[in-house]
Amino acid sequence: KVYRNSLDEINSTDFVNKELGKADSCISFIRKFTQLLSSCFSQISNFLDETKKNITYHALLIAADRSIMFPFVIKALLKGMPQKELEELARALEQIFLRHRIIGTRANLLWRLNDSYKMMGNGAKNVVNHIQWMKSRKDWWGYWNNDELLRTLNMGMNHNTAKILLWKYENHLIQCGKAGYKVLRYDDIEQPHLEHIAPQTENKEPNNGYCPYDEDFYNRYLECLGNYLLLSGSHNMSLSNERFQKKRESYTYLQQQREVRRMTEQDPIWDKEKIHLRHSKIVDYLMQIL
C-alpha cells in the first residue's frame, strides 16, 4: 500500500509477480520494493517503541483498523512529519476508527480515506480536515456524523469496543481528579473485562440491591454504557451475578469503580436512575472527544 500510495485492497502476491514479469524493469522494482519494505519495517518498529511512551500513539494502536492505520503512519514517518502534527493525525484517525466501531456501518472506511492518504505529504492538515468533514456530513456521506454517533452510543454495543471507551473514560476521571495521577495504558489493566453492574442473569435474592428487571430495564438499561464497568478479568470472575452490596464493596481499584461507590453511598441501590445518570455522563464525555 505504501509502495503504490493507495489503500486499495489488492492481491499483493499478484502485484509483485506482475512487476517481476516486466523484463525491462524487474531489477529496478526489486531494488525499490525491498528498500521500501526495509524502511517500512524500521518505521513501524520505531512507532511501536514510541507507543510505549506516548499515550496518543498507544490510543491509536488500540482503536485502529491496522490495515489502514499502518500505511498512514509509515507514510507520515517517511515524509518526516513533525511530532506535533503526527499526534494530530493520530488523534483524528483514532476518532474516525472509534466512530466506525461504535456506529457499525457497512460503509467502506478505507475507500473514503484513500484520497486523503494519497495526497498526504509531511503535514497532517489535509487528513485531519478530511476526517472532520466526514464527521460533519449530513447527507448520504454522513455515516459517521454526530447524530449517528449519539444514536449508537445510546444503544448496546460490541463489548470490546465498550471496553476501549471505558478505558478512555477512566483516563478522563484520572485527569479530572488529584494532580499527579498518571493516565493508564490499556494494557495496564490486567485482562480487561467488561462487567455488567446489574448482572445479565438477574439475581433473585431478596434485597439484592438492584431494581426489578422489567421489560423496560432489559430494553434500555441492561446493555448500555451506564451499566458497564471496566475491571480486571480475575475481579470480574469473582463477582458473577452477586448482590450489588458485595460488588460495591469490591469496587476500589479504577476511578470509575470508585465513582459507582460514590454514586451509591447514600442510597446503595443500583437502579434505572443511577444507570441513566452515569450513562449520560459517559456519553457526554465521548461526544466531546470523538
The stretch 239-244 carries a mean pLDDT of 84
Q: What is the pLDDT of residues 205-221, one digit of tens each?
A: 999 999 999 999 999 99
What per-residue confidence (pLDDT) applies to 220? Answer: 96
Radius of gyration for the chain, computed over Cα atoms and rounded to the nearest angstrom: 23
pTM score: 0.93
Q: What is the pLDDT of residues 8-27, one digit of tens each?
A: 988 888 998 998 888 888 99
- Kindly tell me the sign of the dihedral angle through the C-alpha atoms of 132, 138, 139, 141: positive
Q: What is the pLDDT of residues 154-204, one digit of tens each?
A: 998 999 999 999 999 999 999 987 656 789 999 999 889 999 999 999 999
Q: What percent of the chain has pLDDT over 90?
A: 82
pLDDT range class, residue 79, cuts 50, 70, 90: very high
Closest CA to 272 of 205, 189, 234, 216: 216
What per-residue confidence (pLDDT) applies to 232? Answer: 84
What per-residue confidence (pLDDT) applies to 179? Answer: 57
The stretch 126-132 carries a mean pLDDT of 97
What per-residue confidence (pLDDT) applies to 289? Answer: 97
What per-residue confidence (pLDDT) applies to 10? Answer: 86
Distances (CA, A) of 92 to 7, 83, 127, 134: 17, 14, 8, 11
Q: What is the pLDDT of residues 90-111, one digit of tens each?
A: 999 999 999 999 999 888 999 9
Q: How far apart are CA 130 and CA 116, in angstroms?
A: 7
DSSP 3-state of 193: strand
